[in-house]
Amino acid sequence: MSSHLAHGLGTDPVEPDWPPLTDTEVTDIVGPARVVWRSPRPLSAAAVVERSNRRLFVKRHHTSVRTTEGLAEEHAFLRHLRLRGAPVVEVLDAATRGEWTYEVHSAGVGTDLYRDALSWSPFRSPAHARAAGEALARLHLAAEGFDAPRRQVQPLVASFTVFASDDPLAELERYVEERPQLAKGLAEFPWREDTRRALLPLYEELAPHLPGLTPLWTHNDWHASNLLWNEDGSVATALDFGMSDRTTAVHDLATAIERNTVQWLQPGFPVREEDALALLDGYQSGRPLSPAESKALPALLPLVHAEFALSELGYFHGVTRSAENTRLAYEYYVGHAEWFAGESGWRLLDLCRASGAAGPG
């Protein structure tokens, strides 16, 4: 058994899908260096390495997940954000070695307070939630003017196409057809019927608000463990743009609420309502929601997970070949939407309605 364990889809550490990065490997990429910390995140192999007293961040992907061309899309977004003054890491290099693709970044400034926390762990405090909202607003303002098209088809991207279209069922068929691994993984599930039953009624609530949403390149994985922190509790650096794509600002905000305030890894999925309010208030202090965005937020929140859940399903079926994780990804696709029909889900949606209508506090 490897001494390095990764986060699974539950609360217990698991054997990693990908072999950990070694000193020899990183030296081949960045020159003489040593690994000082290995990330427990499960979808790639990543590490902080030290080279000539400077710390760098190196991430390795299988070429079936990311090519250098695929990385170039998110790296161009990062460079745009840095030019606009956003606190993001610097892209230093990307390279391919055999079946592996590597990317190298600066390590970022600030303290990685959540580096060992599970991806959907909560904020330590409402103050952190508010700071994360403020930082997300600044990121969205910096993202304006980046007009690259949507990303090419590849696994593990949180896009917004199916439920952004005029005909989501037809768009879903196209989405699946373009991804053969996903199509094979879905074959054993009643995905068309479940989409019509659990997700299409939610889309009908969202559809009237879609024309008021402006396309924007967004982070799409904004949670506490992807942020570095200053001593005063503000956000110092935003990390990990691997799921970024052209969506909308309110899609990104909804993702942040769902990832950080609904405790999906805890029994009963409790909601940290104070954190949700703080995140929303912090966001609107820097970028107030438009009337259309305020109305779209509670309608989009039950759907914001959907395309990433499908992308994960294709990854688990076709790349890591885990039948159990494929099943869990399908439960994610359907179950998160269903949860919002219950009492706790409705309460969170009502909170978002009230907060969006009220504006920043």
pLDDT higher than 50, residue 80 = yes
pTM, rounded to two decimals: 0.93
Residues 6+ apart with CB under 8 A from 272: 122, 123, 129, 260, 261, 263
Q: Is the pLDDT of residue 10 over 60?
A: no
- At residue 241 the predicted structure's pLDDT band, cuts being 50, 70 and 90, is very high
Mean pLDDT for the chain overall = 93
CB atoms within 10 A of CB 73: 21
In order of their start, the domains of the chain are 6-106 (3.30.200.20), 126-358 (3.90.1200.10)
pLDDT of residue 87: 96
Residue 1 above 80 pLDDT? no
- Name the residue type at position 215: P
In this model, does residue 29 exceed pLDDT 80?
yes
pLDDT the model gives residue 5? 42
pLDDT of residue 91: 97
At 3, the pLDDT band (50, 70, 90 cuts) reads: low
Confidence at 360, pLDDT banded by 50, 70, 90: low
3-state SS string over the chain? CCCCCEECCCCCEECCCCCCCCHHHHHHHHCCCEEEEECCCCCCEEEEEEECCEEEEEEEEECCCCCHHHHHHHHHHHHHHHHCCCCECCEEEEEEECCEEEEEEECCCCECCCCCCCCCCCCCCHHHHHHHHHHHHHHHHHHCCCCCCCCCCCCCCCCCCHHHCCCHHHHHHHHHHCCHHHHHHHCCCCHHHHHHHHHHHHHHHHHHHHHHCCEEEECCCCCHHHEEECCCCCEEEECCCCCCEEEEHHHHHHHHHHHHHECCCCCCCCECHHHHHHHHHHHHHHCCCCHHHHHHHHHHCCCCCHHHHHHHHHHHHHCCCCHHHHHHHHHHHHHHHHHCCCHHHHHHHHHHHHHHHHCCC
pLDDT of residue 17: 79
Tokens for 228, please give them.
Answer: 């570095």
Provide the token pair at 224: 């506490």
Q: Given pLDDT bands bounded at 50, 70 and 90, which one contains residue 358?
A: low
Q: pLDDT tens for residues 86-98?
A: 999 999 999 999 9
Question: If you average pLDDT over residues 169-191, what whole number do you get?
Answer: 98
Tell me the pLDDT tens digit for each residue of 242-282: 999 999 999 999 999 999 999 988 888 999 999 999 999 99
Q: What is the pLDDT of residues 200-234, one digit of tens each?
A: 999 999 999 999 999 999 999 999 999 999 999 99
